[in-house]
A and B are shown apart, each in its own frame.
Chain A
Amino acid sequence: MAELVGLAEGIRELVRDGDTVALEGFTHLIPVAAGQEIIRAGRRDLTLVRMTPDIVYDQLIGAGCARKLVFSWGGNPGVGSLHRLRDAVEHDWPAPLEVEEHSHAGMANRYVAGAAGLPFAVLRGYAGTDLVHHTTTLAPIDCPFTGERLTAVAALRPDLTVIHAQRADRAGNVQLWGITGVQKEAVFAAARSLVTVEEVVEVLDPRPGAVVLPAWVVTAVAEVPGGARPSYAQGYYDRDNSAYQQWDAISRDRERFGQWLAQTRDAPAGSRS
């Protein structure tokens, strides 16, 4: 059953050095506060997994928390590059970063396989691309019924998945709605899960189209109002597009990033910068 925890405590308990950690969110409901808490906890050698690593992954990489990145699109949406990611790949700063690269369809199916307890998923994809020469977690496979040549992608099985949701109740049942991306699959694929929520409520009244994660498939829930800022939480607050634009200037320069990092490390648990 999900345990209600504080964010600092939850992160320190559930994230271990060397873990494979997925902080998922597709533009909406990105667990930014949780990511920054991982920086404050000083975790190292993480394999970070995410379809769309955005500024919170840029922060984790710049802070030296990551050894490897598993992803399909790494940019600042609508703005440009992730400069800390680029600096790590292009110049090994602050540390070398190994990359394992897929397409979105491949990553989505890898989570589906992980969630379903299967070793791999099958899709039509990657044929003719150079990804097949560099990514070892994909391979051609022939359909046993038709002989058609398809592509197998290895299941993703994070040690920990972290997502942000709108609400949970005191028992730890979680509810999220709007664009829910691949979060359900990412939680089911992981050995442990932490869900940060906008609010803990007495009763989770049903909402059309919402994803519900019953308490017994979630490891821990932490109440972190605003925990997805500067991304958004539908029904609570809008995306702060200017923060994404401002991150471009902060992240472009190692020194300015260093100032941001020092402020973030000194800030109290659960805060965001």
Chain B
Amino acid sequence: MSWTSDEMMTVAAARALAGRTSCFVGIGAPSTAANLARRLHAPGLALIYESGTIGARPRTLPLSIGDGELAETADAVVSVPEVFNYWLQAGRIDVGFLAAAQLDRYANINTTVIGPDYRRPAVRLPGAGGAPEIAASCREVFILVRHGRRTFVEKVDFITSVGYGDGPGARERLGLRGRGPVLVVTDLGVLEPDPVSCELTLTRVHPEVTVADVQAATGWKLAVAEPVAVTEPPTGEELDLLRALKKGTLP
């Protein structure tokens, strides 16, 4: 069975959710991965969407974080202030899933503007949404993003959400309570922060991807683990479920 690099990325992210209790989900690829995990190896995983739906079990993938399907299948629907204050800020959520328009070696995320001038940006992006506090307060953060030199940059144009700031000790100095990004899953491989330097380090490549491919798609000199592991290819079951989820043909 063949697969696309995006499917490999989603499957790798879904696998990483094994054994987790609760996940704060953004729309798009993170939502797909979390819903795939819930149907495979994490049936008890509580999905929390920032619209206030706690424990949603959508039968089809939502287009937005507030689709009716989420409210109708949730354990509880709470207000937006409650989801941010009682659930996220209080540290009740295991994993937060984030995306990025730009990402640097310390996993700091930009989703605000491209270009040096905030007031006159080259590209105005949607902005912060829930991400800064997800990055700060979830016990751990997974980042799901396609690899490319426009995304993996030496320096982000704007820090929207803090990864490891300027390096070791930064999160503690800022008073951030969660561990921060522990996993960056891309369409080429997986990066994890070095336990000492906090710098993102390539620990796994997906099948048929080389370390040179990943370096070529990264805008800084990439730290590489020795040895680099290779991701298990997606199984037939994973691919069937993922495709059915995306088509909306699951019962």
Contacts and interface: CB of A to CB of B under 8 A. Distances in A.
Say whether A and B bind each other. yes
Per DSSP, are chain B's interface residues mostly helix, strand or loop, or mixed?
Answer: loop
Given A127-B162, A185-B81, A179 B53 contact: yes
Most buried by A among B72, B77, B130, B132: B132
Nearest to A134: B118
Interface in A52-105: 52, 71-75, 77-79, 81-82, 85-86, 89-90, 101-105
B175 A72 contact: no
Interface string B28-39: 100000000000
Interface in A120-135: 123-131, 134
Given A26-B52, A104-B80, A111-B81, A239 B162 contact: no
Nearest to A233: B68
Interface bracket on A: 35 or more
A234 interface: yes
B71 A28 contact: yes
Nearest to A91: B120
A257 interface: no
B161 interface: yes
Contacts of B128: 72-73, 101-104, 129, 131
A185 B79 contact: yes
B64 A78 contact: yes
Interface stretch (B11-19, B84-92, B199-207, B234-242): B84-92
Interface residues of B, number: 52
B174 interface: yes
Contact of A179 (B71, B158, B170): B71
B28 A78 contact: yes
Contacts of A209: 77
B66 A179 contact: yes
A28 B65 CA distance: 10
A112 to B, nearest CB: 5
A51 B81 CA distance: 11
Given A148-B175, A178-B77, A181-B79, A27 B66 contact: yes
Interface string A124-150: 111111110010000000000000110
Given A26-B51, A179-B52, A86 B124 contact: yes
Contacts of A28: 51, 66, 68, 71
A239 B63 contact: yes
A182 interface: yes
Contact of B132 (A105, A182, A244): A105
B130 A128 contact: no
B123 interface: yes
B27 A78 contact: yes
A81 B101 CA distance: 13
Q: Which 4 A-B pairs have the closest CB atoms?
A: A27-B66, A75-B126, A77-B64, A73-B129
Interface of A: 26-28, 51-52, 71-75, 77-79, 81-82, 85-86, 89-90, 101-105, 108-109, 111-112, 123-131, 134, 148-149, 178-182, 184-185, 209, 232, 234, 238-239, 241, 244
20 contacts: A26-B52, A26-B80, A27-B51, A27-B67, A73-B130, A77-B63, A78-B27, A82-B126, A89-B124, A103-B130, A103-B131, A108-B85, A127-B174, A128-B170, A129-B159, A180-B52, A180-B79, A181-B66, A181-B80, A182-B81
Given A73-B128, A77-B63, A184-B79, 18 more contacts: A27-B65, A28-B71, A72-B129, A78-B27, A89-B121, A103-B130, A105-B88, A111-B81, A123-B89, A124-B89, A124-B137, A129-B132, A129-B159, A131-B128, A149-B175, A180-B77, A232-B68, A239-B63
